[in-house]
Amino acid sequence: MRLIAMLVLGSALLLSVLYGGFIAGIVFREPDVCFLLAMGRWMVQHGQIPGVDPFSYTYAAFPNGNAYVVYQWLSEVILYAVQALAGAIALLVFTAIIQAVTFIVIPLRLFCLGGSNLLLSSFLVVLVSLASLSHPSVRPEMFSFLMTAVLLELLARLSKRSPGQSIDWSFVSLAFVLQIFWTNLHCLFIFYFILVGFFVFCLGSYSLVKKEKFDGRLQTAVVAFAAGALATLVNPYGFSIWPFTFLMLSDPINKTINELKPMSLAVFSNVLNYPWFLLAILATVIFLLSLRKKITSGEQLYFLLLTPAALLMSFVAVRTFPLAALMMSSALAFSPVLRLPAGKLARLGSEVQTVIAPLGLMYLLSISTFSGFGAYLLAAKLIPPTIPEGSAAFHPPFDAIKFLQQSSNLPPGNLLNDSHYGAVMMWQMTDSPKLFVDPRYFLYNVQLMNDYWDMVLYRNKPEALLDKYKISWVFLPASSALVRELSGQPGWKVLYSDKDAAIISREKWQKEPDFTP
């Protein structure tokens, strides 16, 4: 049995290396990392959070009605600090460790706390880690995933306390501190209230139905809910972070972002989603089997309902797949179905738990070290990183940007740029020209974005729109409809062109780019 347990541990470490390497190989392919690093650099260099957008000219000229809030400022500063102090490889290692702790370390800890068979649980954790790869990225949401995992463990530990104990103030304190960080890291800090509120609802409902006294666990969760609300006020914007967050999450522009749309058949075109679907199927089967068991406590109801809640959330927005995977791992961890009766398999599970010791510090350090090593090995020895990296979907215009960095080549006047090119310019150019748009789509009003696509796709009288915004030069993919049309028109001149990008300009509006909307 000890040999099998050692093999499980060795497999976990090998998984961590491969997981870290995979993370390092793909997360820089999203150009969004560029605007995050650029914003972090701006804040570090200026020693403050900007009050107006320092990168675009259209946000101020055509406001969307929302206040300018750098809602994930702490994430951007952290990501830039890691990159500035130790380089792009260190940023990949950092990301791999965060992801591994979130989707390998904490899920197995949950299974251990839930009393599940650790041999079976190890295979489920592999599935959870693979499911997380449906949306890996160097983005602030990775901190939300980590905060979610930590909160799920805190709630798991709270559920195991004796009902007769009083309020657990250590839990309340930890939850308060966690929520302070979460509020400044990412907009999904509101998920804290969903999880804690759901815990309160389940325990409270069970107590009311059974006509039982509200125990210390429920009281602790209620106090933690209130403490979390106070914690959200510890940010540069105070209470204003609340209305801004809801406005941003409900912004009409979100309907144009594929990852924020409801689940559709299109998700099956991405093979990285398949482990998530397998996890969802297993979680659903175990949920149905668990329904045959009598519910004897509020915490049992909470863990039972996490699975349907996770599935519902995933149907609403496919971008929540990693969060749903964490919720399903918590539900599986406390399912009575995975608590095996005494026997050889149960003894083997106990041996695995003894060898791995998921709740110990060594397990955390081992997985972190091996996942970081996997990321380092790929980035330092096999594929040197660039920010961003090219992919089949996006080719960074590095040569075109080098052309623009020569001051004599930078055209005057207002720019119409590809949104992803804008992100690359923000990071690659220390003094980037003001942008028309970039991937921070929530900054821009819907009409401006509609006009942007009409111009880029050359539809609905784009010449009039070019004059509306007093555009004097264009930086778009060479294959774009606008570039193809304007390149042959009088008054427009091709300044630069390669297989990926083109820069064209005209004299009109160069001397009077400013305008009042």
**If residue 366 lies in a helix (H) or strand (E), which one and from where to where?**
helix 361-376
Residues 6+ apart with CB under 8 A from 235: 183, 184, 241
Retrieve residue 240's tokens. Answer: 């204003």
> Does residue 388 have a cis bond before it (omega within 30 degrees)?
yes
Most confident region among 24-33, 97-106, 249-258, 310-319 by mean pLDDT? 97-106
Mean pLDDT in the chain?
92
**CA diameter of the chain:** 84
Task: Tell me the per-residue pLDDT of 279-295, one tens digit each, with 9 for 90 and over.
Answer: 999 999 999 999 988 88
Residue 102 near residue 145 (C-beta atoms within 8 A): yes
Give the number of other Cβ atoms within 10 Å of residue 138's Cβ: 27
Q: What is the pLDDT of residue 517?
A: 44
Identity of the residue numbered 458? Y
Q: 495 φ, ψ to 5°?
A: -85, -35
Task: Tell me the per-residue pLDDT of 95-124, one tens digit each, with 9 for 90 and over.
Answer: 999 999 999 999 999 999 999 888 889 999
Give the number of other Cβ atoms within 10 Å of residue 289's Cβ: 13
Residue 157 near residue 170 (C-beta atoms within 8 A): no
Q: What is the pLDDT of residue 262?
A: 79
pLDDT of 1 higher than 80? no
In the sheet where 471-477 sits, what is the strand order?
414-417, 471-477, 501-505, 493-497
- Rounded to an integer, the average pLDDT of 337-358 is 82
What is the residue-wise DSSP string for 376-401?
Answer: HIIIIII----SSPP-SS----HHHH
Prediction pTM value: 0.94
Strands 414-417 and 471-477: parallel
Residues 6+ apart with CB under 8 A from 86: none
pLDDT of 60 higher than 90? no
List the one residue out of 516, 418, 413 whose CA is nearest residue 471: 413
Task: Tell me the per-residue pLDDT of 132-182, one tens digit each, with 9 for 90 and over.
Answer: 998 888 999 999 999 999 999 999 999 999 888 899 999 999 999 999 999
Length of the chain, please?
A: 517
pLDDT of 513 higher than 70? no
